[in-house]
Amino acid sequence: DTAVSQTPKYLVTQMGNDKSIKCEQNLGHDTMYWYKQDSKKFLKIMFSYNNKELIINETVPNRFSPKSPDKAHLNLHINSLELGDSAVYFCASSQDREQLSGNTIYFGEGSWLTVV
């Protein structure tokens, strides 16, 4: 069983379209994330979300919005796609226990988004 799964793995779409990437984790974690990895391999946090709070990286355009129907899911919606949105998007999850700094972050396999 895949711990963190995201779909689709590959997505090619035209500028201006709206698209969604789905993410599900079966680890029972209470915190989920979306990361963007650009062509230079830089990993940039976009959102982190648990049942208490959504933390948004202020540099993320408001065309990007996370939606969490429940604790195991965090979907990413992107409106009015632009060429610069082409990247790999990683969903991830972790357990947010204050005393255990060893709880690692588990990643999905990534979604390759290409905007043409």
58 binds other proteins (CB under 8 A): no
28 binds other proteins (CB under 8 A): no
Nearer to other proteins, 22 or 107 (CB): 107
105 binds other proteins (CB under 8 A): yes
Binding-residue total with other proteins (CB under 8 A): 29
Which region among 15-23, 58-66, 73-81, 92-100 touches other proteins (by CB under 8 A)? 92-100
55 binds other proteins (CB under 8 A): yes
Record the tokens describing residue 16, joined without a space: 């201006």
Which region among 17-25, 58-66, 70-78, 86-94 touches other proteins (by CB under 8 A)? 86-94
CA distance 102 to 112: 29
CA distance 16 to 115: 9
3-state DSSP of 50-104: ECCCEEECCCCCCCEEEECCCCCECEEEECCCCHHHCEEEEEEEECCCCCCCCCC
25 binds other proteins (CB under 8 A): no
Record the tokens describing residue 105, joined without a space: 């972050």
